Amino acid sequence: MIVTALIPRFPLRIALLEARMPWDAPIALGPEPGAPQVIGPCTPSAWSHGVRPGLRVGEALARCPGLDLVMPDPDAARSAAERVTLRLENLGAAVAPGDDGESWSFAATGLIRMHGGMAVLMRRARAALPVGAGGRVGAAPTPFASREAARAGVVIHQDEVADFLAPLPAGRLPLPQKIRSALEALGIRSMGQVAHLPRASVLDRLGPTGVAAWEMTRGEDDPRISPRVPPQPVGEEVSFPESIGALPALEAALRILIARITEHARTQGGSVRSIIMRARLEDGGSWTHAVALREATCDPRRIGIAALPHLARITAPVTSLAIEADAGGPPDAGQLALVSTPDEERMRRAGAALAQVRAAGGAAPVLRLVEIEPWSRLPERTWALGPYEA
């Protein structure tokens, strides 16, 4: 059996909890700063007024004049999702977070006896979800059926899967829009209708993706899941006395944070596999972006090449900047060069000289100028002194 915990519209739920706003009011998730002016998920009350995700803000307000928009908080949603994953792993489960960021699945094999039965295991899994987020837990023999069981909060056995899925809408199947349109053109609306189609006809008209969906409706899809490898997190954060919007200043701060986390990873005997950049915005929202490295490394330069370009996506002044890294990579990641390049040798010597100067006089004697507000006529606002890194 596979147990799935599900929280529909998870980013909206977390944003409402952070803003202390009620779920039963007409509310929708607003656009992020600088993003297209369209709304995200909405509450049932807003849905009843004709509000739909993807509508322009003006059209949504025209349909529902009393609609409130809540500021997206992807940083809080990511942190809440990580807390749910860790709580489920503390139950002894090997958890596979869903690609949608709203579900968590794990195999119940071995856990049922350890926790004293399926009912106790599901109750403890439900307790791992955030209070007030409206989460549900279900179980079934296959991953897709388990997710649908979580929507209803029930346990489905192997001989009940096909009958349980039959009346559900075919639009819930993980299919591309082109195949969904083909099913609608054939008059197929439910999963039961999909399950009764001949396999050969499904393969001929819908291809391998359609066959995979056909197997899901019959409870014959692959019962295996791919749990994540628990990360070894290291993190650093810097807060600014005043909000900063200049890209060079943010890049300088991020370089310092990258140097710190690589040093932590090297001290722990590992290397960085992935990073998550987080920023708190001046207007109360947040920005977050994850970067998976092609190869685990402790080289700050390589991590900077992958991470720094994404800072240009921040479109509002920042009050704090943080970076979290998974330091679970091997200690000797990366291929070593036989001969160092001249640039690498100069950087090595500059780093050694910098370490000697700081050992003698502290960090203050070696600083760098960072451009803050190039449009300002006041020198103290145009430039600032920051730590120098070789």
Three-class HEC string of 271-323 = EEEEEEEEEEECCCCEEEEEEEEEEEECCHHHHHHHHHHHHHHCCCCEEEEEE
Rounded to 5°, the CA angle 370-373-375 comes to 130
Question: Which of the listed ranges 98-112, 331-345, 368-382 does the model predict with the highest average pLDDT?
Answer: 98-112
**Residues 369-379 pLDDT 10s:** 777 666 677 77
How far is CA 373 from its chain centroid? 32
DSSP code, position 227: P
Tell me: pLDDT of 164 over 90: yes
Output the pLDDT for position 336: 55
Lowest-confidence range among 140-154, 159-173, 229-243, 300-314? Answer: 229-243
Q: What is the DSSP string of 166-206?
A: TTSBGGGS---HHHHHHHHHTT--BHHHHHTS-HHHHHHHH
| Choice between 270 and 336, residue whose per-residue pLDDT is larger | 270
- The pLDDT value given to residue 334: 52
Categorize the per-residue pLDDT at 335 as very low, low, confident or very high, splitting at 50, 70 and 90.
low
Q: Which one is predicted more confidently, 42 or 74?
A: 42
Q: What is the pLDDT of residue 347?
A: 76
Q: CATH fold of 233-387, please?
A: Dna Ligase; domain 1 (3.30.1490)
Q: Which helix (H) or strand (E) holds 74?
A: helix 74-89
Alpha-carbon distance 38 to 57, whole Å? Answer: 5
* pLDDT above 90: percentage of residues in the chain: 22
In this predicted structure, the answer to whether residue 191 has a pLDDT above a threshold of 70 is: yes
Average pLDDT, the chain: 85
Q: In the chain, what is the straight-line distance between the N-terminal and C-terminal CA atoms, in Å?
A: 54
pLDDT band at 5 (very low <50, low <70, confident <90, very high): very high
Q: What is the pLDDT of residues 283-311, one digit of tens each?
A: 777 888 888 888 888 888 888 888 999 98
The alpha carbons of the chain give a radius of gyration, in whole angstroms, of 26
Phi, psi dihedrals of residue 3, rounded to the nearest 5°: -100, 135
pLDDT band at 390 (very low <50, low <70, confident <90, very high): low
pLDDT band with cut points at 50, 70 and 90 for residue 140: very high
- For the chain, counts of helices (H) and of strands (E): 15, 12
pLDDT computed for residue 84 by the predictor: 92
- CA-CA distance, 8 to 28, in Å (whole number)? 14
Q: What is the pTM of this model?
A: 0.69
Residue 137 pLDDT level (bands cut at 50, 70, 90): very high
Mean pLDDT (whole number) for 102-117: 89
Identify which of 217, 374, 376, 238 has the alpha carbon closest to the alpha carbon of residue 318: 238
Report which of 243, 301, 310, 232 is spatially closest to residue 278, judged by C-alpha positions: 310
Q: If we measure between CA atoms, which residue out of 205, 204, 165 comes closest to residue 185?
A: 205
Confidence of residue 340 (pLDDT cuts 50, 70, 90): low
Average pLDDT over residues 162-181: 89
pLDDT (average), residues 321-341: 72
